[in-house]
Structure 1
Amino acid sequence: MKRAFKVLLGVVAFLALAGGLDLLFPLPPTPRYSPIVLAADGSVLHAYLNPTQKWRMKTELREITPVLRKAILEKEDRWFRWHFGVNPVALVQAAARNLFGTGRTTGASTITMQVARLLEPKERTFGNKLLEMLRATQLELHYSKDEILQLYLNLVPYGGNMEGVKSAALLYFQQTPDYLSLAQTVTLAIIPNRPRGLVLGKNNAAVLQERNRWLKRFGEAGLFPKEEVADALLEPLDVQRHPAPTLAPHLSRRLVRQFPGQAIIRSSLQRSKQARAEDLTLGYVRRLRELGISQAAVLVVNNRTRQVEAYVGSADFRDFGSQGQNDGVVAVRSPGSTLKPFLYALAMDRGLVTPKLLLPDVPTNFQGYRPENFDKRCNGEVTLERALAYSLNIPAVRVLNQLGVPAFTDKLRQAGFRNITRNRARLGLSSILGGCGASLEELTNLYVTLAEGGQYSPLQFTSPPGPLPFKEEELGASSRTKSSGSPSLKERGPGGEAQLISPAAAFLTTDILAQLTRPDLPLGAASSMRLPKVAWKTGTSYGRRDAWSIGYNRQYTIGVWVGNFSGQGSPALTGADVATPLLFDLFNALAYNSPNNWFTPPAALDFRLVCAESGRVPGENCPDQVIDYFLPGVSNGQRCQHQREVLVAADGSSAYCRACAPAAGYRRELFPNLLPEVAAFKEAQGIPYRRLPPHNPQCQRVSGGAERAPTITSPTPNTEYVLNRHEQQQLLLSCTTGNEVRQVHWYVNDRFLRTAAATERVFFRPAPGPLKVSCADDHGRNTDVLVTVTELE
């Protein structure tokens, strides 16, 4: 009992002594390491100088190989595992040698004492030596032997601003310590004692001689097999200092800023894919410079894991003339037409459209907004799949108008579009044509969502388990640095997973985007053997400032942006001409071994027959029918009415309504039931179609009601028009009417102006001031708009 009490008393006294030592002599601050960004396989992608402008890359415990451990301990401190920071036997031996002048003068420093000295460099005096021994004992109390050895290998000098075995391994041998040969490991083990005399790249001959001397000593001591030592002795030493790794500079900078003070950050990038993507992008942009195009950005995402496997923020990070340090992956630009697939998928889920549904593609005034197609042409009516494959603007705006801008932008907000969230109140119909801002990161993940059946999830920029936190091997618990309190890159955006669109709508959209009969297929690509199997969409912003091409297969999604960071446009800058070729090159280079499987229709989809003239469920007068996909219980089941029955006089001169039809002498005929704007387009373009005869002039009843009154397409209601007094500027009057209308009558401020054909464009010079423009058709239906005219000197 007394012995146990004495032991307990001793332990308490020891702990009190240790606590007092910590109080009087706090542990040194944490070493300030060089931030390094790793690839998913653990190789170093990018390294930075530490805050004191030194290369001090942190060596992880797993990188300290048995060969390195044996060589260091044999050379520096063979009793390291047995002493408590200070080796008393070595001290006595060193004191005797120093006192009597026999043997080599030495300080008998253990590895722990060297760590204490490296942490707190001081002048070499007897008093400082005692402090060093005291600090070594303190370190032994707080850290394991492996952790102390790790600190030593992180702090040993290698000349100049290079410290630590990992820094030397990377900068001289371009490998991490765990990939070095025996000869290379011994080379790094012998330099720290003579960092100025044994400088790799300058004194290779001296280093080689010293290396071989130690190799022989290790062999004689039986530390390594004789065969391995013999091979190591034959290994040449022809090394020089290399630059630090600089792959993925944009993402590396982004991660280092995201996790300040963190020594090691493990990214999601695949080293080979990153290097290949950088090389392809740089070579491609060099060929575009003569066209006035200087930059590009690329993002490669693994669809299943959502991990970013390649991240190219610019063609050349070091190209200051072209602002190469800007990050094109996060830059907010006009997305052009790249949002159209998402819009159509949402409209399918609302039951508004199906692939074969015909949409008007004619000049249309949407409450003052008049979109135009990229080629300035209209096609009359087109199927939805053609509208998407040919990236037509007018049908897209029509569908967005029907869906509603808030419904569309709310989905984009859920998909992590930060600029949408900030500017949602100001967005209108132009947002589908690039009127909203988006980044390559946001757009690429939107297409990953399509590839994953409509399931959204944030992109992952770090590999599991993510950036490595500081562990117990770091000095000073109070000085440990935690990762930044700001949200991690993978968490940016308003949430986690969400089902944004149905798998059925995602499949239908993908099926359209995989078609090759389309104008944005690069010239010669269709006949190329290297054309990848992908679904893709291009986009070109207003003024040809941004070219986009984003594509995907089952395994990968790749986003490409091409342009100038200055915002300068170029006549050649279109998604099809300059972005898609790079997209195809990337797919062929990075995803050549992707599985050859393709997307399959989900069970929720079904087929039905639809009228070829409208894309709707066939009605009574639909002899031509085609097969179309639809979503049962969701897709619109309205029956086709592309033709209507009309009562026509026997000689075909006039048509009758039910009120004025005679008892006999007429026949029933079918006429196209066109929208007024489609009829007006056909009339203006001279496109033949079967037009309804004029209504019976003897009819006393106005047919059609107010809902069929003319629609004034110019001037735009509630708009101010500014005319120059010295120029012959005029105001355009135009309208759309039902196809039974032959003439319209124009009035200005309730005064008759003139009569014109229903499709005629009328010009006149108005007086300044408020203006009321009225249009009445030959059936007595009337429409008014109010505008203001201002005249400039």
Structure 2
Amino acid sequence: MKRPLKILLTLLLLGFLGWGLDWLFPVPPPPQYSPLVLAADGSVLHAFLNPTQKWRMKTELREITPALRSTIIEKEDRYFYYHFGVNPLALVQAAGRNMFGQGRTTGASTISMQVARLLEPKERTVGNKLLEMLRAVQLEAHYSKAEILQLYLNLVPYGGNIEGVKSAALLYFQQPPDYLSLAQTVTLAIIPNRPRGLVLGRHNAAILQERNRWLRRFAQEGLFPQQDIADALLEPLDVQRHAAPALAPHLARRLVRQFPGRPIIASSLQRGKQAKAEDLTRNYVRRLRELGITNAAVLLINNRTRAVEAYVGSADFLDAAGKGQNDGVQAVRSPGSTLKPFLYALALDRGLVTPKLLLPDVPTNFSGYQPENFDKRCSGEVPLDRALAYSLNIPAVRVLSEMGVPTFTAKLRAAGFRTVAKNAPHLGLSTILGGCGATLEELTNLYVALANGGRYAPLHWATQPGRKLTTPPGTPLFSDGAAFLVTDILAQLTRPDLPVGYETSIRLPKIAWKTGTSYGRRDAWSIGYNKEYTIGVWVGNFSGQGSPALTGSDVATPLLFDLFNTLAYNSPNNWFQPPASLDFRLVCAETGRPPGENCPNQLIDYFLPGVSSGVRCQHQKEVLLSADAQYAFCRACAPAAGYRRELYPNLLPEVAAFKETQGIPYRRLPPHNPGCQLVRGGREKAPSITSPLANTEYVLNKGEQQQLLLSCATDNEVRQVSWYVNDQFLRTAAATERVFFRPAPGTLKISCADDHGRNTDIRIVVNEM
């Protein structure tokens, strides 16, 4: 009984000693790999040097083919699966050969021992050899045979700064290890023994001879079928070193920063679409350089999964002069008019507007802010669908003013607009014209929400290998009815690639799109979508320099259609269908509102039942006239008899003033009865001073005869107004007349009184320099 007890105690002591040594001298950490970014199909999109400036790409277990495993084990360690890290028989044989000088001198290294040496390189001495053996046993205790073989294949040298089978396969054969032929596999198996003497691309002839020698040896040992060996012997060897994969450099760097230390990162990018998008963008910007435009960025999104399938941060990543390493997808720029569709979608959901509702398009002072349309022209009144299609600024600002800036910016914050969230308290009406910061990523995803019935969900570009992408439920920003109405408007624009006869093509994708141009023509945008894809395009200069040619419609839209026609060519043209939340109704053609008593011209318009306003049209009003139609009567001064009733246009004062100044004919109301003794008080229809701007400081040059403009908008019954400065009468003028005067420096009170006794005051400050 004592002998078994001693054996047991001895084993326990040895086990404890082994555990203590393992704790004191832990297994070397795994090697530092070259970060790899994969495409959705698993191919390598972009590879980086590891921190030690080596190409050491991690070979995954699934990439170790049976041919590669058999070749390495047969060549390096045929008893690999039978020993515990050290092969005693091989040690005895090697000792005999080395001692008696018989045969080739060898160290009897197993694959496990080679892994130990590669993890901790040391000078080749007897002492270090013993340490390798101990490490090999330790590795066997910590790792499976498959993992040890994987470590070996990731560490073997191939000359220069190339380490590992996968690095050599990609840099020389441009294929991952599991795509190599038998001849290529054997080629990579023989080089690690002589990494300096057998360099691919330099010593191809010697490598070919050595490869065929091993192939014949494998044939003799029956390792592979004879026909496979025969085919491999006939395969030529004409290789050279290639550049590492470098597609999607901006997203690749973004993912490496997002997942530090991860050797393999799977992205959602589609390799073919990414390569094509990069080529199209690079070639397109090359043609724009003579116009002073040096860069562009592109984002392609799958609407169903919200997966980014192409990501182009700049036209040329290597263009240092054009700041090509800047990422235009993440750069914060002025969005121009690209936010207008979402303003109108929100306004539709709040019942403020419908597609055919007429909006004033006249010069307007919004509490000191006076926007202008892009072409500096006004139309008087335009329906909402035309205002959006032609990207008119003044109607958009009017709708935002009615809705409220906080309501709009709250939706943008919900849609992930980080700069808007940061600056929300300071944003005003200029937000809708690009007076806020946004990125191509944020804007494009907002259009994805339009394509998904108004539902927003974050984009994703990193995936789990082998996991199928699913459709995220999303958060509703606006209704599916509003999304369809906006889409229907944006799809009516004339295509730049096929302005006539687009409908006859069955292969080109139908899309809805919107353009935008920032102030100073520094940024040009064009974002389009259909049911399958959304593509966002930004064109400009990373320096911020503008260009006279830089507009969304002229510069960004052609690239958008090039991308759609290439990447979505012959895709299913399933278009959006009106949702159940929409219905039709008749509206007055003069205002776009439900017909009133005097609306003979009517048309059909969409509306949201229970949401859209039901206020009846009042584009005409009944007026009491004298028998000769020279005067109008109010109810208080109308005579008992001798008057008649007629209908006159019921225009907003600013619209009437615009028509008057532009010489646009309209039926103007006759002056009010001069004998009326009733002075109508109240300020609901008082003149609106449009110039100068209230609470504004004006600086005039002493040496120049500069003057200030006085102008106002009045009710269409008003014929004359009187202007006062600091309560001192200046002059009487026609209601639409532009009056100029030279003010004295200081704080001024400007007053305007109409011929109905209504008055408006503002205050300004005038300084001279």
Normalising by the smaller structure, the TM-score range is over 0.9
Distance between the aligned counterparts of 1:589 and 1:369, measured in 2? 43
CA contact (8 A) 2:497 2:561 kept: no
Q: Deviations over 1:560-606 (max 9, x none)?
A: 00011111111110001110000000001111132111001111111
SS at match of 2:526: strand
Pairwise CA distance, 1:222:
1.2
CA–CA distance in structure 2, aligned partners of residues 387 and 703 of structure 1: 36
CA apart distance, 1:634:
0.8
- Kept in 1: contact 2:681–2:757 (CA 8 A): no
Q: 1:10 and 1:305, CA in 2 relative to 1: closer, same or farther beyond 3 A?
A: farther
Residues 235 and 6 (structure 1), Cα distance of their counterparts in 2 relative to 1, 3 Å cut: farther
Q: What's the counterpart of residue 259 of structure 1?
A: 259
Distance 1:338 1:188 in 2: 54
Residues 5 and 341 (structure 1), Cα distance of their counterparts in 2 relative to 1, 3 Å cut: farther
Question: 1:548 — aligned with what?
Answer: 525
Query: Comparing 26-35 with 534-543, which one deviates more in the overlay?
Result: 26-35
**1:700 aligned to which of 677, 701, 711:** 677
Residue 127 (structure 2) aligns with? 127
Distance in 1 between residues matched to 2:444 and 2:209, nearest whole Å: 56
User: 2:92 matched to which residue of 1?
Assistant: 92
Match of 2:704 in 1: 727
In structure 2, the residue matched to 1:487 is: none
Alignment-derived partner of residue 156 in structure 1:
156
Report the alpha carbon displacement of residue 262 of structure 1 after superposing the two structures with TM.
1.2
Matches within 5 A, 1:289-328: 289-328=289-328
Aligned equivalents of 1:713, 1:223: Cα separation in 2: 92
Q: Match for 1:661 among 634, 638, 642? A: 638
**TM-superposed deviation, 1:29:** 2.1
Q: Compared with structure 1, are the counterparts of its residues 227 and 742 closer, same or farther at alpha carbon in structure 2 (3 Å cutoff)?
A: same
Corresponding residue number in structure 2 for 1:473: none
Q: How many residues align?
A: 764
Structure 2 stretches lacking a partner, 5+ long: none
**Paired residue secondary structure (1:320):** coil
Q: Which moved more, 1:4-13 or 1:149-158?
A: 4-13
The alignment status of 1:633 with 2:607, answered yes or no, reads no
Cα distance, 1:569–1:496 mapped onto 2, change above 3 Å: farther
Q: 1:10 to 1:266 in 2, by over 3 A?
A: farther
Q: Give the Å deviation of 1:223.
A: 1.1
Give 1:16 shift: 2.3
Partner of 1:753: 730
Deviation at 1:705, TM superposition (A): 3.2
Matched-pair contact (CA < 8 Å) for 1:266–1:466: no
1:616 match: secondary structure: coil
Shift of 1:497: 3.7
Question: Offset at 1:9?
Answer: 6.5
State the distance in 2 between where 1:12 and 1:302 align. 61
Distance 2:443 2:473 in 1: 17
Offset, 1:12: 5.0
Which of 517, 522, 534 is matched with 2:496 structurally?
Answer: 522
TM-superposition CA deviations, 1:87-130 (whole Å, max 9, x none): 11111111111111111111110000000000001111111111
Q: Counterpart of 2:418? A: 418
2:436 pairs with 1:459: no
Change (3 A) 1:466 1:220: closer
Contact 1:731 / 1:764 at 8 angstroms: preserved in 2?
A: yes
Aligned partner of 2:348 in structure 1 is 348
Are 1:358 and 2:358 matched, yes or no?
Answer: yes
Match status 1:40 vs 2:40: yes
Provide closer, same or farther for how the CA distance between residues 704 and 300 of structure 1 changes in structure 2, counting only shifts above 3 A. farther
How large is the RMSD of aligned CA atoms in angstroms? 1.9
Correspondence for 1:59? 59
Q: Does 1:280 align with 2:257?
A: no
Q: Distance in 2 between matches of 1:14 and 1:515?
A: 83
For 2:747, give the aligned amino acid.
P
Q: Aligned-pair distance for 1:703? A: 3.6
Structure 1 residues 346 and 123, CA, compared in 2 at 3 Å: closer, same or farther? same
Deviation at 1:21, TM superposition (A): 2.2
Partner of 1:227: 227
Letter in 2 for 1:456: Y
Contact 1:749-1:771 within 8 A present in 2 as well: yes
Stretch of structure 1 that moved more, 51-60 or 521-530: 521-530
- 2:736 is aligned with 1:762: no
Post-superposition shift, 1:773? 0.7
Tell me the residue number matched to 2:430.
430
For 2:654, the equivalent position in structure 1 comes to 677
The one-letter code of the counterpart of 2:59 is T
Query: For residues 366 and 755 of structure 1, what CA distance do their matches in structure 2 show?
Result: 26
For the residues of structure 1 that align with 2:509 and 2:546, how far apart are their CA atoms? 29
Query: Aligned equivalents of 1:441 and 1:117: distance in 2?
Result: 48
Displacement of 1:717 in angstroms is: 1.0
Which of 711, 714, 725 is equivalent to 1:737? 714
Deviations for 1:702-724, whole angstroms, at most 9, x for unmatched residues? Answer: 34732011111111111111111
Q: Do residues 25 (structure 1) and 25 (structure 2) align?
A: yes
Aligned letter for 1:236? P
CA contact (8 A) 1:18 1:138 kept: no
**SS of aligned partner of 1:667:** strand
| 1:78 counterpart residue number | 78
Shift of 1:298: 0.3
TM-score, with length taken from structure 1: 0.94
Paired AA for residue 76 in structure 1? E
Q: Distance in 2 between matches of 1:57 and 1:139?
A: 21
CA contact 2:750–2:761 (8 Å) conserved in 1: yes
Instruction: Give me the whole-angstrom Cα distance separating, in 1, the residues matched to 2:42 and 2:651.
Output: 64
Unaligned runs of 5+ in 1: 468-489
Preserved contact between residue 35 and residue 256 of structure 2 (Cα < 8 Å) = yes
| Alignment check: 8 A CA contact 1:34 1:50 kept | yes
Specify the alignment match of 1:472 in structure 2: none
2:756 to 760, 765, 779: 779
Counterpart CA distance in 1 for 2:178 and 2:759 is: 86
| CA distance, structure 1, for counterparts of residue 617 and residue 681 of structure 2 | 20
Distance 2:336 2:426 in 1: 18
The residue type paired with residue 362 of structure 1 is V
Residues 765 and 536 (structure 1), Cα distance of their counterparts in 2 relative to 1, 3 Å cut: same
* Corresponding position of 1:105: 105
Q: CA separation in 2, counterparts of 1:290 and 1:704?
A: 63
Matched ranges for 1:419-568 at <5 A: 419-464=419-464, 497-517=474-494, 521-522=495-496, 525-526=499-500, 532-568=509-545
1:569 counterpart (533, 539, 546): 546
Which residue of structure 1 aligns with residue 201 of structure 2?
201
Alignment partner, residue 628 of structure 2: 651
Residues 7 and 702 of structure 1: CA distance in aligned 2, closer, same or farther (over 3 Å): farther
Structure 2 CA distance for aligned equivalents of residues 246 and 136 of structure 1? 37
| Counterpart in the other structure of 1:191 | 191
Deviations 1:167-213 (A, max 9, x none): 00000000110111111011001110111111100000000000011
Point out the more displaced range, 354-363 or 13-22.
13-22
Conserved? CA contact 1:531–1:584, under 8 Å: no
How many Å apart are 1:496 and its aligned residue? Answer: 9.6
Aligned to 1:387: 387
Tell me which moved more, 80-89 or 13-22. Answer: 13-22
> Deviation string for 1:109-159 (max 9, x for gaps)?
000000000000111111111100000000000000000000000000000
Deviations 1:667-720 (A, max 9, x none): 111111000000000000010111111111111113473201111111111111
3-state DSSP of counterpart to 2:193: coil
Q: Which digits, 9 at most, give the CA deviation of each residue in 1:355-384, with x for residues without a partner?
A: 010000000000000000000000000000
Instruction: Report if the CA contact (8 A) 1:172-1:241 is conserved.
Output: yes
- How many angstroms does 1:622 deviate by? 0.9
The aligned residue for residue 590 of structure 1 is: 567
Deviation sequence 1:535-570 (CA, Å, 0-9, x none): 000000111111000000101000000011111111
Report the secondary structure of 1:368's partner residue: coil
How far 1:461 moved relative to its partner? 1.0
Percent identity between matched residues is 79
* Matched letter for residue 143 of structure 2: Y
Aligned residues of 1:731 and 1:765 also touching (Cα < 8 A): yes
Are residue 369 (structure 1) and residue 369 (structure 2) matched? Answer: yes
| SS of match in other structure, 2:463 | coil
SS at match of 2:462: coil
